[in-house]
Amino acid sequence: MHILARWITAFTLALTTCLAAGCVRDQDEFSQESWEALGMGIEPEAFEERLSGLETVRIDPPPVIGEGYSPPEFPPDIEFEPEEWSTNVHGESIAMAGEAKKGGILRLGWSSWPPTIRTDGPNSRLSILSDLQEMVYESMLDYDPVRAEYVPRLATHWQIDEDGKTFRFRLDPEARWADGRPVTADDIAATFDHRKNPDRRDPASSQYWSNLVETVEILDRHTVEIRSPERQWRNFLVIALSHIYPASYIRMDGQTYLEDWSWRLPPGTGPYEIRPGDIRKGHSVTLRRRADWWQADLPHTQGKYNFDEVRFIVVRELELMLQRFYAGELDVFPVSRAQQWVDELPQHRLVRNGWIQMRKVFTLKPEGYGGFCFNMRQPPFDDVKIRQAFAHLFNREQLFRSFFFYQYEHTDSYFPGQEWARPGAEPIRFDPSKARELLAEAGYVERDSQGRLVHEDGSRFPTLTLEYSAQGFTRIFRVVQNDLWNEAGIEMDLQVLDYSTILRKVWEHRFQIVFWNWTASLFPDMHFQFHSEFAEQRQSNNISGFADPEADRIMEAYQREFDPDERRRMLQELDQIIFDSHPYALSWYAPYFRVIYWDRFGHPPEYSSRYGDYPLDIITYWWADSEREARTQANMGEGQPNYPDKPLSQSSEREPRYWLDNELPRPNVPGREPTQ
């Protein structure tokens, strides 16, 4: 522990003892003898002077976790010849390096509490956890999607052998963990050992990583060689962009990891950290900006990661979350309801006066798919005709008309709005006649005296149970429930459960039907979600149980295909096969994110990066603006608008569409400095 920390600890313990004994004294009466009794050996004035600089001093954490770890004996350092390696400089950024200020708190809402905060293992593959981990951990490389090039992160240089299976990375000697230890090749080896380890009880994940990484060889302290068992185009991408964990913390048995580490994280190398006291179970998780982040002074990080704290607060009801936002307890609110966006928010007094701002930010982020996912392992959804009939009874058109104000697009592909979607395909639309025809082909030909759909053998169509956690979706599911009954005589019960319970049931395949959405990446890989090897595996992303030999063949060949045009054709063919099987009744998507926020933040003029999304781009590029904050507070007190010369309605005017027509950030923006 740092010497100043010892002084503070001694002082605190002694003063606490004194208070407990009833011997409180005025600060002015604290004598020189008292300082000596505490073992300070320092004048009080000098002590105060040293205390004044404490906020800039990193205090080592107590050596509890990771204690006793001894780094391995590394091979002798190999001679580094930069000309034999690949590297790049970072490209253009939307960060406002000359304007963004450090400080302040950003408070965001979570609609549910995650079942764990672990990076791996059961129930860990959640987008809210990914948001946290992206701020805490770093990968060996980053990827610039605009230039289609890798750029340094933990590693400064890399090599890809001609065999396409052997990769080497040269770590930055300056890279440091939050506990002060240097990042070494041993950390890389421990990370992939951890991911491959079956005792983490996530068999699909450990199998995936075992198929990806065959060996990790430590060449020297800063150089590591990773070999894949076969030549696949994605291997380098996935390995290079995977988060790295510290060997001194992650080397543990599975039982310890799963039981003792559900609610804490090993130290990271990223710009933020989560301390044990920052996790308030069921209530909030706080990210704290690290003053000692090893990349803090590098050119390409300037203007990024500006908030001192980012706090995620659990508010389980969206309407209550909105009210807490209006009350100033949250700073940003993502608007999921189109009716709110079009009808309600523009008329709200806080919005009309500009104290709260509205933004619909269009980006080119790949959109995922989602909708009603069927459990194909059991009746009635083991029959493709039943699944297709349900899709024809999913009245998205009424939802668009009644609730969504035509703000969304139909999802008609498992790659919506992307180049990998099958071209010219006939979409599915609400068609009760077609649905009844399909049900008849499945043997359900008539309705009984009570209106229930019955099979030709006399058995009733089973009552469906839809379980969900977001109360706001009830109005949407009521429409589906009514159409199923009115048009086909199918009953569906709606049950609201807590999020953790639904997660467990889905991962364990104990559901009939669930409304589920997936995110997407720049480089699609459907193997984990649709390959038959995961169809019966619990804790896998193939929650529907989809299995098709031809789809397997395409997904396996896709991994080995280095021609991007051929990969595009393969994905389009795969899209058709999956779509025809109807593992999901697909829903809708939007090529933007919508937020309202208090007018106390600065932000780039583009609001988000080209492929960005909420909330990561707000956390990364926005900052607390004290002048805007003061103006908003003053105008609210006086009842004056923030922007008297602008229209009151923001809903139609505030739609940044810059990235639909541009590849690079806006040029010549004051406060934006070159990142190279």
CATH number at residue 620: 3.40.190.10
Supply the pTM of this predicted model: 0.81
User: For tokens 């395409």, what's the residue?
Assistant: 554
Whether 448 maps to a domain, the answer reads yes
438-458, pLDDT tens digit by residue?
999 999 999 999 999 999 999
Whether 108 maps to a domain, the answer reads no
Beta bridge partners of residue 513, listed in sequence order: 374, 466
Question: Which residue would you say has higher pLDDT here, 315 or 276?
Answer: 315
Residues 171 and 310 in one domain: no
Q: What is the pLDDT of residue 57?
A: 39
Q: Is the pLDDT of residue 43 over 80?
A: no
Alpha helices, H only, 213-362: 234-240, 247-250, 254-260, 318-326, 338-339, 349-352
Q: What is the pLDDT of residue 70?
A: 75
Give Cα 583 to chain centroid, integer Å: 24
Question: Given 538, 573, 589, which residue is the final one in a domain?
Answer: 589
pLDDT category of residue 123 using cuts at 50, 70 and 90: confident
Question: Given 554, 589, 624, which residue is the final one in a domain?
Answer: 589
Whether 73 maps to a domain, the answer reads no
Whether 669 maps to a domain, the answer reads no
DSSP state for residue 275 in the 8-state scheme:
-
Nearest C-alpha neighbor of 605 from the set 147, 142, 100: 100
- Phi/psi region, residue 372 (left: phi>0; alpha: psi -120 to 50; beta: rest), is beta
Q: Is the pLDDT of residue 6 over 70?
A: no
Residues 585 and 600 in one domain: no
Whether 49 maps to a domain, the answer reads yes
Residues 576 and 598 in one domain: no
Residues 531 and 389 in one domain: yes
Q: How many angstroms separate the Cα of 620 from the Cα of each of 242, 479, 593, 617?
A: 19, 39, 16, 5
Nearest C-alpha neighbor of 387 from the set 397, 374, 377: 374
As a whole number, the mean pLDDT across the chain is 88
Helices 432-441, 384-392: axis angle to 10 degrees equals 170
Question: Given 248, 269, 290, which residue is the final one in a domain?
Answer: 269
Element (H, E) at 196: helix 185-196
Residues 254 and 324 in one domain: no
Residues 359 and 374 in one domain: no
Residues 32 and 129 in one domain: no
Q: Is 119 exposed, middle or buried (0-12, 13-18, 19+ CB in 10 A)?
A: buried
Which structural domain, as residue segments, surrounds residue 585? 370-589
Q: What is the pLDDT of residue 51?
A: 45
Range 259-266 average pLDDT? 90
Range 283-295 average pLDDT? 97
pLDDT category of residue 32 using cuts at 50, 70 and 90: very low
Residues 570 and 476 in one domain: yes
Secondary structure (3-state) at 171? strand
Whether 101 maps to a domain, the answer reads no
Q: Is the pLDDT of residue 268 over 60?
A: yes
Range 252-260 average pLDDT? 89
Range 315-342 average pLDDT? 94
Whether 572 maps to a domain, the answer reads yes
Residues 542 and 572 in one domain: yes
- How are strands ordered across the β-sheet holding 166-171? 155-160, 166-171, 223-227, 215-220
For the chain, the distance separating the N- and C-terminal CA atoms, rounded to the nearest angstrom, is: 37
CATH number at residue 427: 3.10.105.10
Helices 474-488, 432-441: axis angle to 10 degrees equals 60
Residues 329 and 312 in one domain: yes
Q: Is the pLDDT of residue 10 over 50?
A: no
Q: How many domains does the chain have?
A: 4
Contact assessment for residue 371 and residue 433, using Cβ atoms and an 8 Å cutoff: no
Whether 105 maps to a domain, the answer reads no
Helices 549-560, 564-581: axis angle to 10 degrees equals 160
Contact assessment for residue 601 and residue 331, using Cβ atoms and an 8 Å cutoff: yes
Q: What is the pLDDT of residue 675?
A: 53
Residues 200 and 153 in one domain: yes
Residues 504 and 535 in one domain: yes
